[in-house]
Chains A and B, each alone.
Chain A
Amino acid sequence: MQRVPLDMLKPGMVCAKAVVNEKGMTLCAEGTELSAAMIERLKRMCVTSLVVKGNPIDTGIPAKSKEELLAEMQARFVPVAGDPLMDRIKESIGKAILSSRTEEEENAPHE
């Protein structure tokens, strides 16, 4: 998932999070493949950015694996190691990282 400003949206990108207006009306549903006309319409409705599937825009930062993310997170806790509260927080964040769905899992067909 990537949040992309409107002027960087391209036809073919797929909406990953619905956009609704103040009245609760859906302007763009999750799973919608964007067309040029739809992007124009979102612009007219003052939508500023959209969350799209995948990582269509290259940020120059390679995606990290869950294991790398976990190890980096644990390293940040080194100075507070042994503090019971901090250990619990570290554990919960570790679980959150491991439970996150990778892009492949997100795109896998549902059985």
Chain B
Amino acid sequence: MSKDQQIKALTKKIQSLPTLPHVVEKLTKVVESPESTAKEVGKLIASDQVLGSKVLKLVNSPFYGFPGRISSISHAIILLGFNVIKGVVLSASVFDLMERSMMGLWEHSLGSAIAANTIARSLKMTDPEEISTAALLHDIGKVLVKVSLSDDYDTIVSIVEKEKIAFREAEARVLGVDHADIGNWLTNEWSLPDKLITPITYHHQPDAAPRLKDRAAVVHIADGISRAFGVGFGGDPWVPKISKVAWGALDMDHHDLDALMRQVMLDLEEVSTFSF
């Protein structure tokens, strides 16, 4: 079976797709209209009080670089842009699912987002916020497996424990695809922007990305670094091999690695259990 067929077979098994809150759908429409103002979008998000406060907490967390200083959603939109806000609203809703069932994965995702932000900033890339949003969502496929294919998920976990192999290898064995393939399908279903879909899809093989290779490379490296620092739990306890091609594409050798790792560590330290 090809990957596409595998995914199709899997999605048939999935009874309920985690649905996005109403406001996210509305938001997608509003954001696409060129006439929308930050104020209108802010009002829409704030209309859902719980969501509004979550969005404010997320945008005030260290990985967006304005910790504790954004007090209104419309201000957040002006600073971060529509795409980031859409990602943030989405993350806030998705992680609602995750926080209850997968605290370790949430922390791993947050750690990856912080590492991605630090790397993107030190490489002076454009849109570091968007890159960290992609990193925040990179393992979204795992959430879907856990929530919608929970028996398969349990089998994967027990294989990882018994055979000491990577989570991704166990996924491939049980499902025929891995969480990056599932993440690709899910983020397309949700019509996320390509700037988020591509890095999520290619976070294991950034070299294979047809475009946005540099963003996929940052998410790939950030995933590894977050695991190296032991932030949260990404499904297995090991650091995956970081792609030399991705490393070279970002010209990482011409950066002070010691200084970068020190900075990542400081940024990670700011996020403790009590951040959210």
Interface of A toward B, CB cutoff 8 Å? 1-5, 8, 17, 19-22, 27, 45-51, 57, 59, 61, 69, 72-73, 75-80, 83, 85-86, 88-90, 92-93, 95-97, 99-100
Other-chain residue from B240, B269, B274 in contact with A49 (beta carbon distance below 8 A) = B274
**Are A96 and B70 in contact (CB-based, < 8 A)?**
no
With A1-B269, A73-B230, A89-B257 already in contact, the answer to whether A46 and B71 are too (CB < 8 A) is yes
Interface of A is mostly: mixed
Which parts of B50-88 form the interface with A (CB within 8 Å)?
56-57, 60, 67-72, 75, 79
Q: How many residues of B contact A (CB 8 A)?
A: 40
Q: How far is the CA of A65 from the CA of B276 in the complex (A)?
A: 26
Residue numbers in B under 8 Å from A80 (CB-CB):
238-241
Q: Residues 215-226 of chain B: 1 if any A CB is under 8 Å from the residue's CB, otherwise 0?
A: 000000000110
Could you pull out 11 A-B pairs where Cβ atoms are within 8 angstroms?
Answer: A1-B270, A5-B274, A5-B275, A49-B275, A59-B272, A76-B237, A89-B261, A92-B261, A93-B229, A95-B258, A99-B262
Question: In the complex, how many angstroms separate the beta carbon of B241 from the nearest chain A beta carbon?
Answer: 5
Nearest chain A CB to B228 CB, angstrom units: 6
Say how far B262's CB is from chain A's closest CB, in angstroms: 4
Q: Which residues of the other chain, B, contact A46 by a CB distance below 8 angstroms?
A: 56, 71-72
Q: A73-B229, A85-B247 are in contact. List 16 more A-B contacts (CB 8 A).
A: A1-B270, A2-B272, A3-B270, A3-B274, A19-B69, A49-B60, A49-B275, A59-B273, A75-B237, A76-B230, A80-B238, A83-B241, A86-B242, A89-B257, A92-B257, A97-B265
On whether the beta carbons of A20 and B69 are closer than 8 Å, the reply is yes
What is the minimal beta-carbon distance from A76 to any residue of chain B, in angstroms?
Answer: 5
For the complex, what is the distance from the CA of A95 to the CA of B263, rounded to whole Å?
12
Tell me whether A48 and B228 are in contact (CB under 8 A): no
Q: For the complex formed, measure the closest distance between the CB of B232 and the CB atoms of chain A, giving whole angstroms.
A: 13
Cβ contact within 8 Å between B68 and A49: yes
Chain B residues contacting A4 (CB-CB under 8 Å) are 274
Scan residues 199-227 of chain B and give those whose CB is less than 8 A from a CB of chain A. Answer: 224-225, 227
Return chain B residues, CB-CB under 8 Å to A47: 68-69, 71
Nearest chain A residue, comparing its CB with the CB of B66: A22
Q: Is B260 engaged at the interface, CB distance under 8 Å to the other chain?
A: yes
By the criterion CB–CB under 8 Å, are B69 and A90 in contact?
Answer: no
Q: How far is the CA of A102 from the CA of B265 in the complex (A)?
A: 13
Instruction: Tell me which of A3, A69, A78, A89 contacts B272 (CB under 8 A).
Output: A3
Q: How far is the CA of A89 from the CA of B237 in the complex (A)?
A: 17
Asked whether A76 and B275 contact (CB < 8 A) given A50-B68, A86-B241, A100-B265, the answer is no
Q: Are B258 and A96 in contact (CB under 8 A)?
A: yes
Q: Which residue of B lies closest to A77 (CB)?
A: B239
Q: Does B10 contact A (CB under 8 A)?
A: no
